[in-house]
Amino acid sequence: MRIQDWKLPPRVHALCTTRLGGVSLPPYDCLNLGDHVQDDPQHVAQNRNLLKQQLDGARPVFLKQVHGVDVLNLQPVTPDGAIADACMTQEIDLACTIMVADCLPILFTDSLGTTVAAAHAGWRGLAQGVIENTVQTLCGHSGAKSGELLVWLGPCIGPSAFEVGAEVRQAFLQADETAKCCLKAHPKNPQKYLADLPALARKRLRSLGVQSIAGNDSSDAWCTVQQASRFFSYRRDGVTGRFAACIWRSS
């Protein structure tokens, strides 16, 4: 589905898929784009072709995401399976693509639309600086200031479902004590906390000077766990597919 709640510069386009509209069988039903989850490879290939048809001729580049912080500069020769958790490009018809099933997909562009980027932000990547690395790389290539960036946060596990331990809370507090407002005590389990992943991302983006942040507002409508008919969720289902967020430039 094209992203409707994000005003983009001319010739910059973005979409986020759901689990609907593909050919995969349960438990990967239906539009599974992940080739690493034991789904039928032919079904995955068909689903990826269906996605490409929605990209107006742009090629989605599928990364091998490892919960890291590396940012890859995509080129037309970049193969699928390159290892990185974020990517950027100034090329035409090359789609920065992030696959998720609970982690937070983040899309970026500058106000002039000269550069696009995408990042995979689970708690590890977020805590270790994937947002900071992506913003720095995008600004370095585009010449834009962080205040000129436009950012969209996609669906992810929501704050009522994302139970984490004390080590996760500490990983964020070491960098920013004020992050504790995004990591609340679990009402039923004193050993756990409820983490607000999109709020943690917004906090980091704002600390970098990013002002325009659209998309996920931490409400239940954006929660992959709660929206079972729309989104894959690893936390909910264990064996499941992956949906994707894409951003690209056209000529």
Up-side HSE of residue 52: CA atoms within 13 Å toward CB? 14
Taking only the tens place, the pLDDT of each residue in 12-58 is 999 999 999 999 999 999 999 999 999 999 999 999 999 999 999 99
- Architecture label for domain 12-156+213-249: 4-Layer Sandwich (3.60)
Taking only the tens place, the pLDDT of each residue in 66-82 is 999 999 999 999 999 99
Could you state, in order of their start, the residue ranges of all structural domains in the chain? 12-156+213-249
pLDDT at 47 (0 to 100): 98
Interatomic CA distance for residues 68 and 146, integer angstroms: 22
Main-chain phi, psi angles of 84, to 5 degrees: -175, 160
Q: Three-state SS string across 76-108, please?
A: CCCCCCCECCEEEECCCCEEEEEEECCCEEEEE
* pTM flag (> 0.85): yes
Tokens standing for residue 126? 């977020």
Burial label for 50, CB within 10 Å (0-12, 13-18, 19+), is: middle
pLDDT at 1 (0 to 100): 74
Q: Which of the residues in the chain have pLDDT under 70?
A: none
